[in-house]
């Protein structure tokens, strides 16, 4: 039996807007096993970042449960929440706006230590900061630098060092490399791999780039309009996708192989609005295989073989 670190059950988050209720996350179910990387992939506005924030209780859910080591995080009191915050951390997309411009590298990395009064002496704290900088690949001479003096890759490393300084078990990585150039992106992806081995970390890796997600993930969940449409081991999702949306998404990726003769599936139209969605399959409007039944009822995520989940009425 896999050791489940997180279980997410029927998670919902609605935002009231002038036009109506925006269903950002609408009945999401998945688990994250200890030590694995779960990739959460989807296009802008599909609800992937909202899901990541809900998991750390940076947002409170409209409905559903998030169990961390079997306990519902929505029931945590102040003390319990503080403890949870040391175990579960986040790395943000934009290394330009997620670091305080008035704090030095040492202040940024050391802040969680200071807030949680981990060390009594500032000397010990400094030693820990230096150790984290080394793990994150930041030259020690940069300890008193400010974010504006660093390039995007180094800033992202500072964000990673800060996330790791309290020895967490679980990290939500929200588009952690999408603002970076490809060679810097590769350096950071390798760093995530090394840190996972070193500290036995569990990752939720959120990204829109399916090639990147495939590269890092053990399992992949694909989101569309607030729902998970497909969720399985990475090779199943990438090489034998079942949901029509996943099939289109995989085929749309520009390949670097010249002998690639893949038929592109070009979807019509754009992602529809998640405000007051109609009670039918969310993908109905763009699906190439849509049938009568797809507009009569909503599709739900079903396990069609062990460990392989698809949200499609035509695949049941």
Partner 1 sequence: MSANLLEIKNLHVHYITDDGTAKAVNGIDLALKPGESLGLVGETGAGKTTSALSVLRLVPNPPGKIIEGEINFNGENLLKKREREMRRIRGNKISMIFQDPMTSLNPVFTVGRQIAENVALHQNVSIKKGIERAREMLELVEIPGGRVYDYPHEFSGGMRQRVLIAMALACNPALIIADEPTTALDVTIQAQVLEIIKGLMEKVKTSLIMISHDLGVVREVSERVAVMYAGQIVEVGSIRSVFQNHKHPYTIGLFGSIPDIDDRESTRLKPTPGLMPDAMELPEGCPFHPRCPEAMKKCSEETPESVEIDERHFVSCFLYS
Binding site for partner 1 (CB under 8 A): 43-44, 151, 153, 181-187, 189-190, 193, 208-212, 214-216, 235, 238-239, 248-258, 260, 264, 266-267, 270-271
- Residue closer to partner 1 by CB (options 85, 250) is 250
Q: Which residues lie closer than 8 Å to 280 by C-beta, 6 or more apart?
A: 294, 295, 296, 297, 298
Query: Residue 124: how many CB atoms within 10 A of its CB?
Result: 12
- Residue closer to partner 1 by CB (options 11, 213) is 213
d(CA 30, CA 16) in angstroms, rounded, equals: 25
Least CB distance to partner 1 at residue 254 (A): 3
Task: Give the helix/strand (H/E) hosting 283.
Answer: none
Task: Give the helix/strand (H/E) hosting 210.
Answer: helix 210-216
d(CA 93, CA 188) in angstroms, rounded, equals: 12
Instruction: Tell me the two tokens of residue 160.
Output: 């990673």
Least CB distance to partner 1 at residue 257 (A): 6
Least CB distance to partner 1 at residue 166 (A): 28
- Residue closer to partner 1 by CB (options 1, 256) is 256
- Residue closer to partner 1 by CB (options 207, 301) is 207
Least CB distance to partner 1 at residue 239 (A): 7
Query: For the chain, what's the residue count?
Result: 316
Query: Which phi and psi (to 5°) does residue 218 adopt?
Result: -85, -45
Residue 154's DSSP bridge partners are: none
Least CB distance to partner 1 at residue 144 (A): 20
- Residue closer to partner 1 by CB (options 80, 239) is 239
DSSP string, 102-147: TS-HHHHHHHHHHHTT--SSHHHHHHHHHHHHHHTT--GGGGG--G
Least CB distance to partner 1 at residue 73 (A): 31
- Residue closer to partner 1 by CB (options 265, 314) is 265
On whether the CB atoms of residues 109 and 129 are closer than 8 A, the answer is yes
């Amino acid at each position: 039996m896999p050791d489940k670190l997180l279980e997410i059950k029927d998670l919902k988050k609605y935002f009231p807007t002038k036009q109506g209720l925006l269903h950002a996350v609408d009945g999401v179910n998945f688990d994250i096993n200890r030590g694995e990387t779960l990739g959460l992939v989807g296009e802008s506005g599909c609800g992937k970042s909202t899901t990541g924030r809900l998991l750390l209780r940076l947002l409170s859910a409209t409905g559903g449960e998030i169990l961390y080591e079997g306990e519902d995080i929505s029931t945590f009191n102040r003390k319990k929440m503080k403890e949870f915050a040391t175990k579960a951390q986040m790395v943000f997309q934009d290394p330009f706006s997620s670091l305080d411009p008035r704090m030095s590298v040492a202040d940024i990395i050391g802040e969680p230590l200071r807030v949680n009064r981990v060390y009594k002496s500032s000397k010990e704290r400094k030693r820990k900061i230096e150790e984290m900088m080394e793990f994150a690949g930041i030259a020690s001479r940069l300890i008193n630098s400010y974010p504006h003096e660093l390039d995007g890759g180094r800033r992202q490393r500072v964000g990673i060092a800060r996330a790791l300084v309290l020895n967490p078990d679980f990290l939500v990585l929200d588009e952690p490399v999408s603002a970076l150039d490809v060679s810097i992106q590769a350096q950071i992806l390798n760093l995530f791999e090394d840190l996972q081995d070193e500290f036995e970390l569990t990752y939720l890796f959120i990204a829109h780039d399916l090639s990147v997600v495939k590269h890092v993930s053990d399992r992949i969940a694909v989101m569309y309009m607030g729902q998970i449409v497909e969720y399985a081991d990475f090779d199943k999702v990438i090489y034998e996708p079942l949901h029509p949306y996943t099939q289109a998404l995989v085929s749309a990726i520009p390949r670097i192989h010249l002998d690639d003769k893949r038929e592109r599936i070009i979807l019509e139209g754009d992602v529809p609005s998640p405000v007051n969605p109609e009670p039918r399959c969310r993908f109905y409007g763009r699906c190439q295989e849509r049938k009568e039944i797809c507009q009569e009822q909503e599709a739900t995520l079903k396990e069609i073989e062990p460990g392989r989940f698809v949200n499609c009425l035509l695949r049941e």
